[in-house]
């Protein structure tokens, strides 16, 4: 016997990937339903070899459904996640709404799978921000070996992190650059994204940082270790899929770059591609469709006593969202719900 699974936001970037990954990983599904807004009712969505017809989230009854994978943004999540949970369905949510709620576990299975048991408090489990997910996968095994004191991270985040509208804006604006009569001013982003970079993701906070940067700080503490200091600069770049990060790590103990490389090679969810030659590293276009968090450019930071620099790339729609959500569902199934 398998699970009855609802994919909420099934017409979106993350929702479609969740369906792909459930099929690819042969998640034990007895019945699956694709949900989105009323305007998408009847829209056909692929699930492996099958085609699902989208249903209206607003009128859907979650009673008797085991797991709902949510990818609809915070406003819709606020309305429908508590409804699903109160009808006895465990919600795994991609929005930021519940990530900082003490009664909701925030999980990256390679890092803190044991937090899963906390789901019973609200019947909700949160998926982290895409930039945090890939970073903590890289940090965890190094933290276990040499205790991380401080992380300085700069991100290079793709437009798919801003949903369907983000992808459309980069596509349309790029074409319009070659056709001056077809002007496409910024709508989703705050400045031109085609052939440009924008050092601003999510809203500004009082201290001058952005909410996206704050999320990386708060989520790393909740998932990995509250004592780790993180400072982040989050930047949107004209890449369709795949987030990249330059990460500088300061440890309590000395960690040699060769040992760091060996540790990362052996760690779950990580693929090390690190040759010191032309092309001996991973770029975002190469990570698309993959499950791994790719690590390259591992090297000593000789400006501090115990420092390592590295480059970290992952498919933000997969490890940053859909894959991580399905991995959480797998842990939930095996450890808690025990069907399938």
Ligand X SMILES: NC(=O)c1ccc[n+]([C@@H]2O[C@H](COP(=O)([O-])OP(=O)(O)OC[C@H]3O[C@@H](n4cnc5c(N)ncnc54)[C@H](OP(=O)(O)O)[C@@H]3O)[C@@H](O)[C@H]2O)c1
Q: Is 155 in the site for ligand X (CB under 6 A)?
A: no
Instruction: Give the active site residues.
Output: 130, 243
Q: Is 163 in the site for ligand X (CB under 6 A)?
A: yes
- Shortest distance in whole angstroms from residue 328 CB to ligand X: 13
CB-CB contact of 224 with 115 (8 Å): no
Residues 21, 23, 27: CA angle, nearest 5 degrees: 90
Q: Kindly provide the b/e burial profile for residues 146-171, where b requires at least 16 CB atoms within 10 angstroms of the residue's own CB.
A: bebbebbbebbbbbbbbbeebbebbe
Q: Residue 83 and residue 63: Cα distance in Å, rounded?
A: 10
What are residue 6's DSSP bridge partners?
33, 68
Q: Which residues have a Cβ under 8 Å from the Cβ of 166 and sit 6 or more positions away?
A: 159, 160, 188, 189
Q: Is 36 in the site for ligand X (CB under 6 A)?
A: yes
- Shortest distance in whole angstroms from residue 150 CB to ligand X: 25
Site for ligand X (CB under 6 A): which residue of 91, 321, 323, 332? 321
Q: Residue 132 and residue 212: Cα distance in Å, rounded?
A: 10
Measured from the CB atom, the residue of 105 and 320 that comes closer to ligand X is 320
Q: Is 12 in the site for ligand X (CB under 6 A)?
A: yes
Site for ligand X (CB under 6 A): which residue of 109, 141, 161, 284? 161
Measured from the CB atom, the residue of 66 and 315 that comes closer to ligand X is 315
- Shortest distance in whole angstroms from residue 103 CB to ligand X: 20
- Burial class from Cβ neighbours inside 10 Å (0-12, 13-18, 19+) for residue 129 reads buried
- Shortest distance in whole angstroms from residue 131 CB to ligand X: 9
- In the chain, DSSP assigns E strands to 3-8, 29-36, 44-47, 50-53, 55-56, 67-70, 90-93, 124-126, 148-157, 229-236, 243-251, 270-272, 293-301, 307-314
Q: Is 325 in the site for ligand X (CB under 6 A)?
A: no
Measured from the CB atom, the residue of 73 and 118 that comes closer to ligand X is 73
Contacts of ligand X in 41-80 (CB under 6 A): 57, 71-73, 76
- Shortest distance in whole angstroms from residue 322 CB to ligand X: 8
Helices 257-265 and 130-146: crossing angle in degrees, nearest 10, is 120
Measured from the CB atom, the residue of 160 and 296 that comes closer to ligand X is 160
Site for ligand X (CB under 6 A): which residue of 21, 111, 198, 317? 317
Contacts of ligand X in 164-223 (CB under 6 A): 164
Q: Residue 319 and residue 326: Cα distance in Å, rounded?
A: 10
Q: Is 307 in the site for ligand X (CB under 6 A)?
A: no
Measured from the CB atom, the residue of 28 and 73 that comes closer to ligand X is 73
Rule CB under 6 A: which residues touch ligand X? 9-15, 36-37, 39-40, 57, 71-73, 76, 94-95, 130, 160-161, 163-164, 316-317, 320-321
């Amino acid at each position: 016997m398998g699970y009855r699974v609802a994919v909420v936001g099934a017409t979106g970037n993350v929702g479609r990937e969740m369906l792909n990954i459930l099929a690819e990983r042969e998640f034990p599904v007895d019945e699956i339903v694709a949900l989105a807004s009323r305007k998408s009712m009847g829209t056909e969505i692929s699930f492996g070899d099958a085609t699902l017809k989208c249903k209206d989230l607003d009128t859907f009854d979650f009673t008797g459904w085991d797991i709902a994978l949510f990818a609809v943004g915070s406003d819709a999540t606020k309305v429908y996640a508590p409804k699903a949970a109160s009808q006895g369905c465990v919600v795994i949510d991609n929005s930021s709404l519940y990530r900082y709620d003490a009664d909701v576990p925030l999980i990256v299975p390679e890092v803190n799978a044991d937090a899963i048991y906390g789901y019973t408090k609200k019947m909700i489990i949160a998926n982290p921000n895409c930039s945090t997910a890939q970073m903590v996968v890289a940090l965890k095994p190094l933290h276990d070996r040499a205790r991380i004191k401080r992380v300085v991270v700069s991100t290079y985040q793709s437009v798919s992190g801003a949903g369907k509208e983000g992808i459309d804006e980069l596509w349309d604006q790029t074409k319009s650059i070659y056709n001056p009569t077809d002007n496409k001013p910024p709508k989703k982003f705050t400045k031109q994204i085609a052939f440009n970079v924008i050092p601003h993701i999510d809203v500004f906070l009082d201290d001058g940082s952005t909410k996206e940067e704050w999320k990386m700080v708060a989520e790393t503490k909740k998932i990995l270790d509250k004592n780790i200091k993180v400072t982040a600069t989050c930047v949107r770049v004209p890449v369709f899929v795949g987030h990249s990060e330059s990460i500088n790590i300061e440890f309590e103990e000395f960690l040699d770059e060769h040992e760091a490389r060996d540790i990362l090679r052996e760690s779950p969810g990580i693929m090390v591609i690190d040759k010191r030659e032309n092309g001996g590293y991973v770029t975002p276009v190469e990570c698309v469709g993959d499950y791994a968090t790719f690590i390259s450019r591992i090297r000593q930071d000789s400006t501090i006593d115990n420092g390592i620099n590295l480059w970290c790339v992952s498919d933000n729609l997969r490890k940053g969202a859909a894959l991580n959500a399905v991995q959480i569902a797998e842990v939930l199934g095996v450890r808690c719900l025990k069907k399938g």
